[in-house]
Amino acid sequence: MNVALGSAALLFGLGASILGAATLGYGLATRRPRLLLLGRSYALLAFLGALGAFAVMERALITRDFTVAYVAENGSTKTPAIYNFATLWAALEGSILLWALVLTGYLLVMVRKFRHRQSDPLVAWANLTMFVVCIFFFGLMVTAAKPFVPFDPTPGFDGPGPNPLLQNHILMAFHPPMLYLGYVGFTVPFAFAIAALATGRLGEGWLVETRRWTLFAWGFLTVGIVLGAWWSYEVLGWGGYWAWDPVENASFLPWLTGTAYLHSVMVQERRGMLRVWNLSLLCATFALTILGTFLTRSGVLDSVHAFTESGIGPAILGFFALIVAVTVGLIAWRGDQLRSPGRIDSPVSREGAFMANNLLFAGFAFVVLLGTVFPLIVEAVNGDRISVGVPYFNRMTMPIGLTLLFLMAIAPVLPWRKASGELLRHRLYWPAWVATASLVFAVLIGARGLAPLLAFFLGGLAAGSAGRQIVLATRRQGWRGLVGRANGGMVVHLGVVVIAVAFAASQSFAHTGEFRLAPGESAVVAGHRVTYLGVETVERPEKVVVRARVRVDGDGVFTPALNRFQFGGQAIGTPSVRVGFADDVYLALLALPGQEDSVTGTGTDAGDAVADATSDDAGAGDAAGDPAGAPAEDAVLLRVVVQPLIVWLWIGGGIMAVGTILSAWPGRRRRPTDPVSAPLDVADGDDRARRPAS
């Protein structure tokens, strides 16, 4: 029954999307406003189709209906409720289903938001573009990635449950949906960019209409990336949080281009410049989300994040090529109209700093993209399998990241058009003192090396610059000095600075060691004493958990564990972390008494490389702390990693999320830049004032 209901819902959603696109296309071709109004009604039908399919799949998972192949392959009667619910996006077909639900949800909200302007060709073209994207994803689910395939289970059949790594931490329930809200959210500004190119209304008004859509998509993607790093840190057991894994890079690439767009769009709104650049950034951001979908779901990459090999790779790659071809063709077609009326008067100006910022973000994205896809290109050309490791990414991105920190400090204090040296000296006075204090603090806590010290200095300079802007704004406007794009953006900058400094510290001053400890024996790592107390076994329906009890610094007991799932052939580790504002003590159980290293599923090659690259400054407090010793009958193998300032990564992500919300809050109202983008609502049949969208 669930197979029939789910398949019918998908066909219903596909049909609604096709009818919506056909109605809008015919209405635009024949200039019939009533058809444009009719086309919007199909958005609700498409959403209901996706929602119905989603609900049917969740019902099948909750009731353990193994007559659905997806449930038989990924569900289990022993999977806990929260992970059972999240199983929907734990495998390929379900993840596409979630994507379609989020996409049609955005379409429905967009139609509702612009309900008074549905006969406006700009909005109609945007709706048409959204329907075309919906057709593609619904088409995937009724062809190459069918979530509702029948299965004939034997009596007493029970499924294996989701991948053990995906039911080992609660963040599995939140990290993917946040990423999808970010990924899919960029479809809306992309649709309006295509609409602006198709209609020739290339002024700045359409940017105003989509600003908050872009901002919220970027905010969701930011939170999703931070949650993913946190999940990696808490689950994979190698003590790190970012390994330049190809699928991590797939989410980072649209974040980079989206960040560049959010900066450069202010130059276009203020000075009418960078029109081609901004359209290219928006289209590139959406195209990179599709490329990321290909990398994650085609099976071309070996990654802990990637899904198994499937037949949808060529379809997604073809859709990516179509997006690139259409956008490049439209931009070339409108080339003469896209010429900017303004120009940069001086490189020492805010628009000059934004332009440099954009070039750096583009370079950053190119470096990451090259390192990610180069192995695929080599394999496609000559069949050789190569890998691009962490050293490449660190070496290539570090100078760009430090330069971006410098620009984050300089850009907010620069005026538009041109700045004088006296003005810069005045505005950078307090930020320079903050930077100096940060550098002194870094030296006092033991920071060494040019890159970490530069990160602290430039981070302090950027934090001082952002803090200065916030203080001045709150003095002038009170609490409203914290809201609006400029002021909220400074809060986002503070979050970025916190993450950058924490990243530099944790990458440069981490200490790690592996010890074989018997009960009562201790080891010391970076001044922290860990004492092994013994093991305990906990049996749960879905797994058997063996936990080591470890006391850290004599004031708390932590329990790193090994989990053996019912259908799993590997021991899956669950680290335990003593969190502190200064540093984290990270504990991972590698082997049980009498065993060699038994944890085969808790790390990645990249993760091991990062762990090897950290400084091993671990001193053994007892003789038992020698990792080279032979296995004792009652000893465990324990990995201990001490990393400074890790918690500030998550705090910085929270600050960025708050800053995103503050940026979307209405600040001082300005007159719409381009009234052409807010035409008469001909459906109402009157001559009332033009309605600018908020």
Give the tens place of pLDDT for each residue, 255-309. Answer: 999 999 998 888 777 777 778 888 899 999 999 999 888 887 765 555 544 444 5
Round to whole Å and give the CA distance between 112 and 119: 13
SS3 143: coil
**pLDDT recorded at residue 303:** 52
Residue with tokens 């005026």: 415
SS3 422: helix
Spell out, as residue ranges, where the chain has pLDDT lower than 50.
304-308, 600-630, 670-694
Round to whole Å and give the CA distance between 508 and 505: 5
Alpha-carbon torsion (345, 349, 355, 356), positive or negative: positive
**pLDDT recorded at residue 568:** 63
SS3 304: coil
Report the 3 state secondary structure along 172-229: HHCHHHHHHHHHHHCHHHHHHHHHHHHHCCCCCHHHHHHHHHHHHHHHHHHHHHHHHH
**pLDDT recorded at residue 566:** 74
Burial of 691 (0-12, 13-18, 19+ CB in 10 A): middle
DSSP 631: P
Residue with tokens 């201990």: 640
Q: Name the nearest CA neighbour of 584 among 226, 175, 165, 234.
A: 234
Query: b vs e for 162-201, b when ≥16 Cβ sit within 10 Å of the residue's Cβ?
Result: bbbbbbbbebbeebbbbbbbbbbbbbbbbbbbbbbbbbeb
**pLDDT recorded at residue 608:** 37
Report the 3 state secondary structure along 481-542: HHCCHHHHHHHHHHHHHHHHHHHHHHHHCCEEEEEEECCCCEEEECCEEEEEEEEEEEECCC
- Here the tokens at position 352 are 């000059």
Type of residue found at 473: A
Q: Name the nearest CA neighbour of 582 among 643, 530, 498, 500.
A: 643
- Here the tokens at position 675 are 């009234």
**pLDDT recorded at residue 167:** 83
**pLDDT recorded at residue 602:** 45
pLDDT tens digits for range 228-270: 999 989 888 888 888 888 888 989 999 999 999 998 888 777 7
- Give the pairing of strands 561-565 and 557-558: unpaired
